[in-house]
Amino acid sequence: MRVVLALGSNLGRRMDNLQGALDALFDAPGLTFVAVSPVYETDPVGGPDQGPYLNAVVVAESMLDARTLLERAQGVENAFGRVRLVRNGPRTLDVDLIMVNGIVSNDPELTLPHPRAHERAFVLVPWSRADPDATIPGHGAVADLLAGLDQTGVRPREDLSLEPPA
């Protein structure tokens, strides 16, 4: 199954948090690395006043079910000190499960595809670089969705890059 995860950090050593998350996600069996996007610095969307994020998107193949993938993502967040005090507040690490093999789920604990991915340039820009032919079930091609979004708050960080997991 094709899996797409979005990584973000705006607290602490942001780049170390993203690299650590990427490494931790693939440290246990069940995920096979396919691609990782370039790193982008992005303006925060919603929530309180806070600093900019570093964001990237990871594409993988997996035989794990969506709930197990969610648990792994949340476990990685917790390992990096993620605290959920304020909705859309600053965080050391955010690992969002964006899509799992085209599965559509309206479960409040695991909505797939991610309910706002199709309207967030900070997800779609890096995703389009990691997988140019990507589509979001029920919304269409990522490239087409991007054409209708303001991308000014998403800036490439050509001086930064994530290393694929070992």
Q: Report the distance separating Cα 74 and Cα 52, nearest Å.
A: 22
Average pLDDT, the chain: 94
27 is catalytic: no
94 is catalytic: yes
Q: Which of 72, 94, 120, 131 is catalytic?
A: 94
Residue 65 neighbours by CB under 8 Å, 6+ apart: none
User: Does the domain made of 2-156 have the CATH classification 3.30.70.560?
Assistant: yes
How many CA atoms, within 13 angstroms, populate the side-chain half-sphere of residue 29?
1
Q: Flag whether pLDDT at 166 surpasses 90.
A: no
116 is catalytic: no
* 63-103 pLDDT, tens digit each: 999 999 999 999 999 998 877 777 777 889 999 999 999 89
82 is catalytic: yes
Q: Which of 91, 120, 129, 131 is catalytic?
A: 91
Question: Where exactly are the structural domains of the chain?
Answer: 2-156
Is 93 in contact with 7 (CB distance < 8 Å)? Answer: yes
Question: How much is the pTM?
Answer: 0.94
My answer on whether omega of the bond before 113 falls inside 30° of 0, hence cis, is yes
* 6-40 pLDDT, tens digit each: 999 999 999 999 999 999 999 999 999 999 999 99
